[in-house]
């Protein structure tokens, strides 16, 4: 009983998309997103399948085995894979990396193969072969060989220079040194000599040579600070923490030399923020996650010495897994030149054929008595015409411009230097010029029609400042005095009463300060205590001053704000956290940290107070917090109203809540938590399930609002782009209200702009589909398309659409199968045929829907997509490229923008440092400060269009 509706998404029956919800996890891979889920099966089939899946999952998740200080372990026969015929190599890669394309043996054949893929070069190769045939040739063979060798030589030299630079870079990296345990002692070794299982020692400011498990460090509790700029572009430090057992026993050289731990973990992959494994040591198993792994490409900061065990080396490291294959991007000029050459080929062939036919006719009718021509009397006129055809091909070879490609390459090379020398692209404050990282896409910059831009860190400065908050339903942060009287101008709050305050926070609500100092409302103090305790920030003391190192600017801004208001985060260990509460130091025992990720969108911490009570503190996005609140929350609506106010002011918001936990309840939950932490397979899913059990019945405290200011000159830049008829699409994960107000702030939207939302365009698209169906009827596919606008002419329109509506409109929602019992096996031919037809109809419907959406969106002067994921960003770019055949520019500043950037032909990756893992696929990139790059880079593009 299979029907088409079993595999279609039933939009009419589904509830309306939720504008506040990100449609699916940013962490999901494309395979996971495309997975439609299993069909309903008989019970026994399902049991058998689940058992087999558990076995397969265990095998897949834990097939990578690492033995510390034992290189011979990884050379066992069952770790060997056949690479070529009978040649076998270990599946564990060495630590030497290779980014170059050629070596001494492969340069000539590979480079020639690549060059002869160009039509003109291949044509002249064929021409050279023809000139070697005496019966055909009319010109000496060297007349073609010399210019062909010249063209091939110039291009080969250019490729060789580029590859030599890659060789030098690889040699420099592979010959870096670090200390590795050999023969029981630390000895200096080159990076390329490191192998999986080695124990290494790194010092401050050292690059990490491989993906390693942090064993211990010189910092308290074996903390280690790393800079991950080469991985995600973020310059703020992140911290890693070793296991308590390895921190305690693996500090000395002799103990590290005798360390014999055994690790089972996941296979090498490209997930930078994920790691699952287990360490077996001293008859105990210890769970491993990404917080204990130091990745290749990071730099050790603020840590004198750290020790680690190599898990992935060389090509198996996550940074190399992310590099991917270099995709050669071609411009419109490349395609135009190929089209021109192919056209010349056709014209040349027709002309030569006409001349050869005429020649054969002449000889057949008149005859050939000229002494200086090949008489060919022993052959037929048709055969002589055939030979003359190739002769005319040779004679007319000058029709094909052999130097065309070289000329274009020289022009592009010169243009790249002009970009590098452009004074208007020079950033004086950091002495940083623009950097054209490729010479193949330069001419595209003047042909851009669409710019796809991230918001946070690209349009905005990504410098967070605490501005307002809502506590117990009341909003704080306006300009008012201690008597709650509002003023247009009032003096800044004086934090001198707090010895830990650094005075950097500009705050004007004196009434909040009075509430904190008096302590009449316990929720106010508990609010800031939560900010001081629920985080992953690390603290340093530099010259007696506290210095916070946060993994995200948002978290750093909140902890710093709590510090100003009297709740100061002082220090943390593996199991404790110390807070100064209005001058009184108190130490809390950390029982569990429920980590933040893009799927959970929240973070929780469970602590035991000095009095012995257990509390859970949680902060996260309003969409996930409100789902987990206790039904008795009197300030729920007031807080929601405050969130709407904050969003209208373009402030970034988080909700705060807490929960009291009974001792017995925690003990039962902790057993599940420990079991999930050491699970060999599906550990993340098991932990999420356990987290859900405890994060229920929460009491809402309030919400925070922090500001991320626009970069200087953004409105003026967007105005110039609009005059150049360049359309800007902003793709962000922020709330709809926040994104809309940012649109007004940067003048992408104006008061005269008519804004269309997801529900509006959904109705328009449904109407268009009905019209197309009625107009075409049964023969819809044979009816030529009618290009009619969605909106009447005139007026300024903009589209604001959320990720959920985007999935709804583009038919990207996960399908919903009926609950009818269906046997998965066997399936008849008739069922297969019907299923295939159903899929084809769905694909055609989906394609038409997507094309209509692109047509509608391109009629708008601006498009803002909010609550979208990295995959959706890439999908939007791909749709515009596919259906509009337009040249696009993608601009972003983080790892979540890489998918979007790769989809765009002309790309700009704005980072504060060079990112080697991404440079091969990003096209034209600039190595410029992100606070300035959007303004300069895009304004320069607009100027070229206006001129």
Q: Both 893 and 866 in a single domain? A: yes
For position 488, what pLDDT does the model report? Answer: 60
For position 156, what pLDDT does the model report? Answer: 87
Per-residue b or e along 42-64, where b marks 16 or more CB atoms closer than 10 Å to that residue's CB: eeeeeeeeeeeeeeeeeeebbeb
- CA separation (Å) from 249 to 244, 258, 758? 9, 11, 58
Closest alpha carbon to 939 in 308, 463, 298, 451: 451
Q: Which residue has the higher pLDDT, 689 or 907?
A: 689
211-217/262-265 β-pairing = unpaired
Look at residue 617 and tell me if it is in a domain: yes
Look at residue 153 and tell me if it is in a domain: no
Say if residue 322 carries a ligand binding annotation.
no
Residue with the two structure tokens 């192998």 = 195
Task: Give the pLDDT band of residue 457 (cuts 50, 70, 90).
Answer: low
Q: Both 585 and 696 in a single domain? A: yes
Q: Both 698 and 727 in a single domain? A: no
Task: Give the pLDDT band of residue 929 (cuts 50, 70, 90).
Answer: very low
Please give the average per-residue pLDDT across 631-644, as a whole number.
Answer: 90
Q: Both 622 and 682 in a single domain? A: yes
910 pLDDT exceeds 60?
no
Task: Give the pLDDT band of residue 385 (cuts 50, 70, 90).
Answer: confident
Please give the average per-residue pLDDT across 655-677, as a whole number.
Answer: 92
Say if residue 198 carries a ligand binding annotation.
no
Say if residue 652 carries a ligand binding annotation.
yes
Q: Among 525-529, 899-903, 909-913, which is the least confidently predicted range?
A: 909-913
Please give the average per-residue pLDDT across 522-529, as a whole number.
Answer: 92
Say if residue 327 carries a ligand binding annotation.
no
Q: Which residue has the higher pLDDT, 23 or 556?
A: 556
Please give the average per-residue pLDDT across 249-266, as a whole number.
Answer: 92
Rounded to whole angstroms, the Cα distance separating 910 from 929 reads 7
Look at residue 925 and tell me if it is in a domain: yes
φ/ψ (deg, to 5) at 602: -160, 160
Q: Both 758 and 865 in a single domain? A: yes
Look at residue 344 and tell me if it is in a domain: yes
Q: Both 737 and 688 in a single domain? A: no
Q: For residue range 193-209, what is the model confidence (pLDDT) as tens digits?
A: 999 999 999 998 899 99
For position 83, what pLDDT does the model report? Answer: 67
Q: Both 803 and 880 in a single domain? A: yes
C-alpha triplet 151, 153, 159: angle, nearest 5°: 110
Task: Give the pLDDT band of residue 546 (cuts 50, 70, 90).
Answer: confident
**Cβ atoms < 10 Å from Cβ of 512:** 24
Closest alpha carbon to 605 in 621, 624, 619, 626: 619
Say if residue 585 carries a ligand binding annotation.
no
Please give the average per-residue pLDDT across 302-328, as a whole number.
Answer: 82
Look at residue 786 and tell me if it is in a domain: no
14 pLDDT exceeds 60?
no
Look at residue 165 and tell me if it is in a domain: no
Q: Both 455 and 497 in a single domain? A: no
Q: For residue range 96-113, what is the model confidence (pLDDT) as tens digits?
A: 988 788 888 888 998 888
Rounded to whole angstroms, the Cα distance separating 825 from 215 reads 50
How many Cα neighbours within 13 Å face the side chain of 171? 6
Residue with the two structure tokens 């990112």 = 915
Q: Both 727 and 597 in a single domain? A: no
Residue with the two structure tokens 């211990």 = 216
Q: What is the DSSP letter of 26?
A: T
Closest alpha carbon to 190 in 163, 166, 204, 210: 210
Domain boundary (709, 725, 743) is at: 709
For position 813, what pLDDT does the model report? Answer: 57
Say if residue 454 carries a ligand binding annotation.
yes
Look at residue 561 and tell me if it is in a domain: yes
* Coil, strand or helix at 389: helix
72, 78, 83, 85: CA torsion to nearest 10: 120
First and final C-alpha spacing in the chain: 64
Domain boundary (691, 709, 727) is at: 709
Say if residue 303 carries a ligand binding annotation.
no
Closest alpha carbon to 910 in 940, 936, 882: 936
* Coil, strand or helix at 117: coil
CATH number at residue 746: 3.40.50.1000
Contact 53, 682 (CB under 8 A): no
Number of domains forming the structure of the chain: 3
CATH number at residue 650: 3.40.1110.10
Q: Both 630 and 729 in a single domain? A: no
Domain boundary (709, 732, 761) is at: 709
908 pLDDT exceeds 70?
no
Q: Both 631 and 715 in a single domain? A: no
**Active site residues per annotation:** 454
Q: For residue range 396-436, what is the model confidence (pLDDT) as tens digits?
A: 878 877 777 778 878 888 888 888 888 888 888 778 888 87
Q: Among 7-21, 141-155, 446-460, which is the least confidently predicted range?
A: 7-21
Please give the average per-residue pLDDT across 610-634, as a whole number.
Answer: 91
For position 894, what pLDDT does the model report? Answer: 61
Q: What is the DSSP letter of 509?
A: B
Task: Give the pLDDT band of residue 371 (cuts 50, 70, 90).
Answer: low
Q: Which residue has the higher pLDDT, 495 or 137?
A: 495
Say if residue 873 carries a ligand binding annotation.
yes
Say if residue 619 carries a ligand binding annotation.
yes
For position 566, what pLDDT does the model report? Answer: 92
Look at residue 426 and tell me if it is in a domain: no
In terms of C-beta density within 10 A (0-12 exposed, 13-18 middle, 19 or more buried), how is residue 640 classed?
Answer: middle
Q: For residue range 155-200, what is the model confidence (pLDDT) as tens digits?
A: 888 788 878 888 898 899 899 999 999 988 999 999 999 999 999 9
Q: Both 522 and 637 in a single domain? A: yes
* Averaged pLDDT of the chain: 79
Contact 276, 684 (CB under 8 A): yes
Q: For residue range 233-243, what is the model confidence (pLDDT) as tens digits?
A: 566 677 888 99
Rounded to whole angstroms, the Cα distance separating 642 from 653 reads 10
Question: Which range marks the domain in which residue 726 is found?
Answer: 447-459+711-772+791-811+840-940
Q: For residue range 258-273, what is the model confidence (pLDDT) as tens digits?
A: 999 999 998 898 777 7
Please give the average per-residue pLDDT across 349-375, as a whole number.
Answer: 76
Contact 659, 693 (CB under 8 A): no
Say if residue 893 carries a ligand binding annotation.
yes
Q: Among 15-19, 545-549, 730-734, 758-762, which is the least confidently predicted range?
A: 15-19
Conformational region of residue 220, where left means phi above 0, alpha means psi within -120 to 50, and beta covers everything else? beta
For position 377, what pLDDT does the model report? Answer: 58
For position 816, what pLDDT does the model report? Answer: 41
671 pLDDT exceeds 50?
yes
What string of DSSP letters covers 139-185? Answer: S-THHHHHHHHHHHHHHHHHHHHHHHHHHHHHHHHHT-EEEEEETTE
Q: Supply 37's token pair.
A: 């889920």
Q: Which residue has the higher pLDDT, 324 or 42?
A: 324
């Amino acid at each position: 009983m299979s029907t088409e509706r079993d595999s279609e998404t039933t939009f009419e029956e589904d509830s309306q998309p939720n504008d506040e919800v990100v449609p699916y996890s940013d962490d999901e891979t494309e395979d996971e997103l495309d997975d439609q889920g299993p069909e309903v099966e008989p019970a026994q089939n399902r049991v058998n399948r689940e058992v087999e899946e558990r076995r397969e999952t265990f095998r897949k998740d834990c097939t990578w085995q690492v033995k510390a200080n034992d290189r011979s372990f990884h050379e066992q026969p069952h770790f060997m894979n056949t690479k070529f015929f009978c040649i076998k190599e270990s599946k564990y890669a060495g630590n030497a990396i290779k980014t170059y394309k050629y070596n001494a043996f492969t340069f000539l054949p590979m480079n020639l193969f690549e060059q002869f893929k160009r039509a003109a070069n291949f044509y002249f190769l064929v021409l050279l072969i023809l000139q070697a045939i005496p019966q055909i040739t009319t010109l000496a063979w060297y007349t073609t060989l010399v210019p062909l060798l010249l063209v091939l030589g110039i291009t080969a030299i250019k490729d060789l220079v580029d590859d030599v630079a890659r060789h030098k870079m690889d040699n420099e990296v592979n010959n870096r040194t670090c200390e590795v345990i050999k023969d029981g002692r630390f000895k200096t070794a080159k990076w390329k000599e490191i192998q999986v299982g080695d124990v290494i020692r790194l010092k401050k400011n050292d690059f990490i040579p491989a993906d390693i498990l942090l064993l211990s460090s010189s910092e308290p509790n074996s903390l280690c600070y790393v800079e991950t700029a080469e991985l995600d572009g973020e310059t703020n430090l992140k911290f890693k923490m070793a296991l308590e057992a390895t921190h305690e026993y693996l500090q000395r050289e002799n103990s590290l030399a005798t360390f014999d731990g055994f690790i089972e973990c996941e296979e090498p992959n490209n997930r930078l923020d994920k790691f699952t494994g287990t360490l077996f040591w001293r008859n105990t198993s210890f769970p491993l996650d990404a917080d204990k792994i130091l990745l290749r490409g990071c730099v050790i900061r603020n840590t004198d010495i750290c020790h680690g065990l190599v898990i992935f080396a060389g090509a198996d490291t996550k940074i190399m897994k992310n590099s991917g294959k270099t995709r050669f991007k071609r411009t419109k000029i490349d395609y135009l030149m190929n089209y021109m050459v192919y056209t010349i080929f056709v014209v040349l062939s027709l002309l030569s054929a006409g001349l050869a036919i005429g020649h054969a006719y002449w000889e057949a009718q008149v005859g050939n008595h000229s002494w200086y021509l090949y008489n060919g009397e022993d052959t037929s006129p048709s055969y002589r015409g055939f030979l003359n055809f190739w002769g005319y091909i040779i004679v007319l070879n000058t029709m094909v411009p052999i130097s065309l490609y070289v000329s274009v390459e020289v022009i592009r090379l010169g243009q790249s230097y002009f970009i590098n020398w452009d004074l208007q692209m020079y950033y004086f404050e950091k002495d940083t010029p623009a950097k054209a990282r490729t010479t193949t896409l330069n001419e595209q910059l003047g042909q851009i029609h669409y710019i796809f831009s991230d918001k946070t860190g690209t349009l905005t400065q990504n410098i967070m400042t605490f501005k307002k908050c809502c506590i117990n339903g009341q909003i704080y942060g306006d300009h008012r005095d201690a008597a709650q009287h509002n003023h247009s101008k009032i003096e800044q709050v004086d934090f001198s009463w707090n010895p830990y305050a650094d005075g950097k926070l500009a705050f004007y609500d004196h009434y909040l300060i009075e509430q904190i100092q008096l302590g009449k409302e316990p929720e106010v103090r508990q609010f800031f205590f939560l900010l001081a305790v629920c985080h992953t920030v690390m603290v340093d003391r530099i010259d007696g001053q506290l210095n916070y190192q946060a993994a995200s600017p948002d978290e750093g801004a909140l902890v710093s704000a709590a510090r100003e208001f009297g709740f100061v985060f002082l220090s943390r260990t593996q199991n404790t956290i110390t807070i100064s509460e209005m001058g009184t130091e108190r130490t809390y025992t950390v029982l569990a940290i429920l980590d933040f990720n893009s799927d959970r969108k929240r973070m929780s911490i469970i602590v035991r107070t000095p009095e012995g009570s257990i509390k859970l503190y949680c902060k996260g996005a309003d969409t996930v917090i409100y789902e987990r609140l206790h039904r008795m929350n009197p300030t729920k609506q007031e807080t929601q109203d405050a969130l709407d106010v904050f969003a209208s002011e373009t402030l970034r918001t988080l909700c705060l809540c807490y929960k009291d936990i009974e001792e017995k309840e925690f003990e039962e939950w902790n057993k599940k938590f420990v079991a999930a932490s050491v699970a060999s397979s599906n550990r993340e899913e098991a932990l999420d399930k356990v987290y859900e059990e405890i994060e229920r019945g929460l009491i809402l405290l309030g919400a925070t609002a922090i500001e991320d200011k626009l970069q200087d000159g953004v409105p003026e830049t967007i105005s110039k782009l609009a005059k150049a008829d360049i359309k800007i699409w902003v793709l962000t994960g922020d709330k709809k209200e926040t994104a809309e107000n940012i649109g007004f702030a940067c003048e992408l939207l104006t008061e005269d702009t008519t804004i269309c939302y997801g529900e509006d365009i959904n109705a328009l698209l449904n109407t268009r589909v009905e019209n197309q169906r009625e107009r075409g009827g049964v023969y819809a596919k044979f009816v030529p398309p009618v290009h009619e606008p969605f909106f009447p002419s005139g007026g300024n329109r903009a589209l604001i659409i959320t990720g959920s509506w985007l999935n709804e409109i583009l038919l990207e929602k996960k399908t919903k199968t009926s609950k009818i019992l269906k046997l998965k096996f066997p399936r008849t031919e008739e069922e297969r045929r019907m299923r295939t037809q159903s899929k084809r109809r769905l694909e055609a419907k989906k394609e038409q829907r997507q094309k209509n959406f692109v047509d509608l969106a391109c009629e708008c002067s601006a498009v803002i997509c909010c609550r979208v994921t990295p995959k959706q960003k890439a999908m939007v770019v791909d749709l515009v490229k596919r259906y509009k055949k337009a040249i696009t520019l993608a601009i972003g500043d983080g790892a979540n923008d890489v998918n979007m950037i790769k989809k765009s032909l002309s790309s700009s990756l704005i980072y504060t440092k060079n990112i080697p893992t991404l440079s091969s696929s990003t096209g034209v990139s600039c190595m410029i400060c992100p606070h300035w790059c959007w303004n300069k880079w895009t304004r320069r593009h607009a100027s070229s269009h206006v001129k």
